[in-house]
Chain A
Amino acid sequence: MIEIIQIKKRFGRLTVLDDLNLHIGRGKITGIVGPNGSGKTTLIKSILGLVRPDRGSIIVAGQVLNGDWQYRKMIGYMPQYGKYPENLTVEEIISMVKNLRDEPGNIDRELYDRFELDRERSKKIHTLSGGTRQKLSAVIAFLFDPDLLILDEPTAGLDPRASSALKDKILKEGTEGKTIIITSHIMSELEELCDEIVFILGGKIKFQGSVQNMIESTREFKLERAVASMMERISE
C-alpha cells in the first residue's frame, strides 16, 4: 500500500528521517513505535504530504507523491492534537469536511454515535475539552470509510470508554481489509491491535516484523519490555 524509498528530511541541522526505507502492506494494521523525537510524526506527515522530504520518494497505492493532493481522498487522518477553527461548532466542522470532500461514498457515523457527539454538536470548538476534540478528530478520520487510516496517538486523552470504542472500531476496520497505521506509546494497545510493528529510532527503521517476532527477538514476554530493551540495546 505504501512504499517509502530512501527518504531524508532535515529540519535545520537536525536529521529527522535518515535514508528511511519502509514498506507497509495492504490490509494490515501497522504500529509505529519509537522514543519521542524519533521521527514518527514526521514520517506520518510525509505520507500525508504535510511534510516534504528533501530526498527520496513515497508511493501510496501506486501513486508517486509529488505535490499531488487527490490521493488523500483515500486517507483518513487523525492528528495527535486536533485543532479546529475556534469559533465554529462541532456540527459545522463535520459538515465542512464533508463539503470539502464532496464524495458520494457512504458516510460512516458509527464513531459519532458511539462517542455521543450529538450532544456536543452545537458547541463551539473553544468550549470543548481536549478529549472531546480528540473524539471529533477520530470521527472525521473514519467518516469517509477510507482505505488507508493514519492515526497519530489515537487514544491519548480519551477516557477508557471512548478509548475502547475507538479500539473496537480500529479492529473492525482492520478485519474489513483497511490498511491502518497507528503510532502510540501505549504498548499494550499496539499489542492488542497491530499485525506488525515498526520500530523507528534516529530517523531509521531498526526493526520491522510481527509483534510476536519482536518479543521473541528480544527474549522478553511483553511488547513493552521488548521495545524498552530494544531502545536500551541500540542506545548502548
Chain B
Amino acid sequence: MKVIVKIVRYVLQDVYRGKWLIIYGLLFWLMTDLLMRFGGNSSQVFMSLINVILIFIPLISVIFGTIYLYNSREFIEMLLSQPVNRKHLFFGMYIGIVIPLISGFVAGIGIPLLYSGIQSRADIIPLSILLGTGIVLTMIFLAMAFLISLGTEDRAKGLGYAILIWLFFTVIYDGLILILIYLYSEYPLEHATIIMSLLNPIDLGRLLILMQFDIAAMLGYTGAVFQKFFGSLYGVLISGSMMLIWITVPLYSGLRIFLRKDF
C-alpha cells in the first residue's frame, strides 16, 4: 500500500510539471468564463457546459492517458527493475494521472463558477451531478487509455484507437441510435433507447444531467419515460452500476495485460 502512495506522488509530480495539464485547466476556465458572460441564463450556461464537458473530458482523458503511458514506458521499465509489485505500479500510475485530470477540470470549471456566483441554491444539485459525471467520465476514459496503450505496442496505432474510441462514443454511437430510431419509428422504442444509452457512458452521463433540468419535459413521451427511469431509485442504481462497470472492466482488462506484459 505504501508503495502505491509513493508511486502516485512521483507520477503527480511529473504530470503537474508538464504543461499539458495547465492548458487543460485553462481551457475549461476560459470556456466556462465565456459561457457565463455571454451564455444568458444559468440553465442555458449549464446546457452548453454539459456539451463541452461531454466532448472534451473523454477526448483529453483518453488521449492524454494514452500518450502519457507510452511516454512512461521506460519509467515503468525502470520501476519494474526495482523491487516493486506490478499491481501496485499499475494502480499507482492510474491514480497518479487521474487526480491531475480531475483536478484540472474541477478547478477549470469550479473557479469561474465560484467568482461569478451561483444564482440559486437549486443550482447546487445539478452542478454537483455535472462535476460528478465529469469525474466519472475521466476515470472511464483514462481506464480505456490504459487498456489501449498496454494492449498495443505501436504508438501510432494506439493513438489511432484512442481517437477512434472517442469518436465512437461521442458521434458514431449516437448516429447508430438515430438510424435505429428512424428505421423502427413505427415501434415504441423508449425502453430500447434507455438500454442503448446505458451502454454508452457519455450518453448515460448526458441523460443523468439532463434529467436534473426541466428540459426533460421537452423530450415528449420519451422524456417522460426517461424521467421516470432515471428519477427512480432503481434507475439511479442501475446507471450508477453501469458507470462502475465502465470504469472497472477496462481497468481490470488493462491490469491483466500489464501483469503479463514483457518490457
Contact = CB atoms under 8 A, between A and B. Distances in A.
Interface of A: 11, 45, 48-52, 67, 69-73, 75, 77, 79, 81-88, 92, 96-97, 99-102
A2 B79 CA distance: 22
A100 B81 contact: no
Contacts of B80: 48-50
A85 B10 contact: yes
Interface in B37-75: 71-75
Nearest to A42: B262
Contacts of A49: 80
A67 B13 CA distance: 29
B84 A100 contact: yes
Interface residues of B, number: 29
A125 B221 CA distance: 60
Q: For chain B, what secondary structure do more than half of its interface residues adopt (helix, strand, loop), or is it mixed?
A: helix
8 contacts: A48-B81, A67-B86, A69-B85, A81-B74, A83-B78, A84-B74, A85-B11, A87-B18
Given A87-B14, A100-B84, A45 B262 contact: yes
Contact of B81 (A52, A79, A88, A96): A79
Interface string B1-33: 011001100110110011000000000000000
B258 to A, nearest CB: 12
B263 A45 contact: yes
Given A45-B262, A100-B3, A85 B75 contact: yes
Contacts of A88: 10, 13-14, 17
Contacts of B71: 86
B152 to A, nearest CB: 14
Contacts of B18: 87
Contacts of A73: 83
Contacts of B260: 52
Given A70-B83, A73-B83, A100-B3, A50 B74 contact: no
Contacts of B74: 79, 81-84
B185 interface: no
A69 B77 contact: no
A86 B72 CA distance: 9
B259 interface: yes
Nearest to B262: A51
B13 A79 contact: no
A75 B82 CA distance: 8
A187 to B, nearest CB: 26
A69 B83 contact: yes
Given A51-B262, A77-B81, A84-B74, 4 more contacts: A50-B80, A70-B83, A79-B74, A85-B75
A83 B76 CA distance: 10
Nearest to A124: B17
B86 A87 contact: no
Contact of B82 (A52, A67, A82, A101): A101
B72 A85 contact: yes
A101 B78 CA distance: 13
A82 B86 contact: no
B17 A82 contact: no
State the 6 A-B residue pairs at the shortest beta-carbon distance, nearest first. A83-B74, A87-B17, A85-B14, A72-B83, A77-B81, A51-B262
Contact of A79 (B17, B77, B84, B85): B77
Given A100-B82, A101-B83, A84 B75 contact: yes
A69 B75 contact: no
A99 B5 CA distance: 11
Contacts of A67: 86, 259
Contacts of B78: 79, 82-84
Contacts of A70: 83
